[in-house]
Amino acid sequence: MKKIAIIGADGQLGTDLVQVFSQAHDVASLTIQDIHIENIDEVRDVLSGIKPDVILNTAAYHRVPDCESHQSLAFQVNAIGAQNVAKVAQDLGAVNVYYSTDYVFDGMKGSPYLETDTPNPQSVYAISKLAGEYFTRHYCDKHFVARVSGIYGKVPSLIKGSNFVTTMLRLAKEKSEVRVVDDEVLTPTPTEEIALNSVDLIRIDHYGIYHMTSEGACSWYEFASTIWSTLELKTPLYPAKVADFPMVVKRPTYSVLENANLKKLGINRMSDWKDGLIRFLKQNYLEGGS
Residue 286 scores a pLDDT above 90: no
Domain membership of residue 171 (yes or no) is: yes
Number of domains, the chain = 1
Tell me how far apart the alpha carbons of residues 88 and 47 are, in angstroms, rounded to a whole number: 8
Instruction: Give catalytic residues, as residue numbers.
Output: 125
Domain membership of residue 210 (yes or no) is: yes
Residue 155's pLDDT band, with cuts at 50, 70 and 90, is confident
Q: How do residues 188-232 score in pLDDT, each as one tens digit?
A: 999 999 999 999 999 999 999 999 999 999 999 999 999 999 999
Domain membership of residue 124 (yes or no) is: yes
All residues at 6 or more sequence positions from 104 whose CB lies less than 8 Å from its CB, including other chains: 119, 120, 121, 126, 129, 130, 133, 147
Domain membership of residue 231 (yes or no) is: no
Domain membership of residue 61 (yes or no) is: yes
Domain membership of residue 225 (yes or no) is: no
Q: How do residues 220-272 score in pLDDT, each as one tens digit?
A: 999 999 999 999 999 999 999 998 887 778 889 999 999 999 999 999 999 99
Domain membership of residue 240 (yes or no) is: no
Across the range 157-170, mean pLDDT stands at 81
Q: Tell me, what amino acid is at 82?
A: A
Tell me how far apart the alpha carbons of residues 243 and 14 are, in angstroms, rounded to a whole number: 34
CATH number at residue 155: 3.40.50.720
Burial 43-64 (b: 16+ CB within 10 A, else e): bbebbeebebbbbbbbbbbbeb
Evaluate whether 130 touches 100 at the Cβ level (below 8 Å): yes
Whole-structure pTM value: 0.94
The boundaries of the domain holding residue 79 are 3-220+245-286
Compute how many other C-beta atoms are within 10 angstroms of the C-beta atom of residue 168.
24
Q: Of all helices (H) and strands (E), which one includes residue 216? A: none
Compute how many other C-beta atoms are within 10 angstroms of the C-beta atom of residue 246.
5
Domain membership of residue 235 (yes or no) is: no
Q: How do residues 9-34 score in pLDDT, each as one tens digit?
A: 999 999 999 999 999 999 999 999 99
